[in-house]
Amino acid sequence: MDGNPKDSITVNNHSISYFQKGQGEPIVLVHGALADARMWQEHCKILSNEFRAISFTQRHFGNPGNPSEGPFGIDTHAADLVGLVEALDIGPAHLVGWSYGADVSLNAAIKAPKLIKSLYLYEPGYPGYIESNNMEEYRQDAESMFAEIFKTTAEGELDTAVKLLIDGSGNQAGYFSQQPLKYRVQQLDNAYTLPLQLNQTEQSALNPSSLSGISIPVSVAYGSNTRQLFKTVSLVAGTLIPDTHPQEVSSANHMLPLEDPARFCQLVRDRITNCCDQQPVT
């Protein structure tokens, strides 16, 4: 399997590119901002030993110079994810989401719970279900991280904004430049999506009530070295969703899925094994 999607399928009048590898229970990997199906290539290879691993490119991403039509937002992307599971006839499927992809996966599971067997969410970022007692710590860190990103994006300095976003996500100045070339290329390839990502206005199904009504197995994880904003969202989500306890991953930050694909896949495997054995998911 090379770095390019192998197949495409029409979902909600939009062509979605994807690749898949392996056999077994289906597991769909959902990327976040500044990414596309390529980011999960190594993960699919690892997981394909046990699962039918599927990575796809969300609407608007992975297509520089030829942006997709239609809205951009957590509701549209969740509808596309549900549509993909239906179109591939793989439900109920396991979903693995990182960052914005975790938000999309959670939203999809609320919309179509019968199509989802389990969720593994690594550091979701959507604050819509954070209540007032936790909002201030989220707000302060979000402003610290995103103020300059919004400014440079508005000024059209998208490559600079990409570097700032990745530095902030890695919680380290210069983090972007320290990454392997393949990840820097993918992130810069998707720089054009930043204005859409930062200015989306769609309302999602994510709120305290909807999260407390989830009945499928869910795992929420965050890194011990992550930023406060990601930690806050993860802790709140893991508290609201029944039978879910947030998992702190030692010596990890927001960028764990790219820093250590093997370790990330082992975390996913462990949680899905618990789910399939009908053990409590924590």
Phi and psi dihedrals of 219, rounded to 5? Answer: -120, 135
Residue 93: which residues within 8 A CB-CB, separation 6 or more? 25, 26, 27, 28, 54, 85, 115, 116, 117
Task: Report yes or no: 249 and 220 within 8 Å, Cβ to Cβ.
Answer: no
Cα–Cα distance for residue pair 56/81, rounded to 1 Å: 9
> And the tokens for 171?
């919680």
* Angstrom distance (rounded) from CA 103 to CA 234: 11
Report domain extents, the chain.
Answer: 7-131+201-276
For residue 280, give the DSSP letter. P
Q: What are phi and psi of 95, to 5 degrees?
A: -115, 135
Amino acid identity at 164: L
Specify the pLDDT at position 123: 99
pLDDT in the model for residue 78: 98
Residues sharing a CB contact under 8 Å with residue 202, sequence separation 6 or more, in sequence order: 71, 72, 73, 74, 75, 76
Task: Specify the pTM.
Answer: 0.94
CATH number of the 7-131+201-276 domain? 3.40.50.1820
Q: Encode the chain (282 residues) as per-residue pLDDT tens digits.
A: 444 457 999 999 999 999 999 999 999 999 999 999 999 999 999 999 999 999 999 999 998 777 677 899 999 999 999 999 999 999 999 999 999 999 999 999 999 999 999 999 999 999 999 998 899 999 999 999 999 999 999 999 999 999 999 999 999 999 999 999 999 999 999 999 999 999 999 989 999 999 999 999 999 999 999 999 999 999 999 999 999 989 999 999 999 999 999 999 999 999 998 876 644 333
The one-letter amino acid at 276: C
Query: What are the tokens at 23?
Result: 């056999």
Q: Which residues of 178-209 are buried (b: 16+ CB within 10 A; e: fewer)?
A: ebeeebbebbbbbbbbbbbbeebeeebbbeee
Q: In this predicted structure, what is the pLDDT of residue 276?
A: 60
Query: How many other C-beta atoms can be found within 10 angstroms of the C-beta atom of residue 16?
Result: 23
Torsion 32-33-35-36 (CA) sign: positive
Query: What's residue 277's pLDDT?
Result: 60
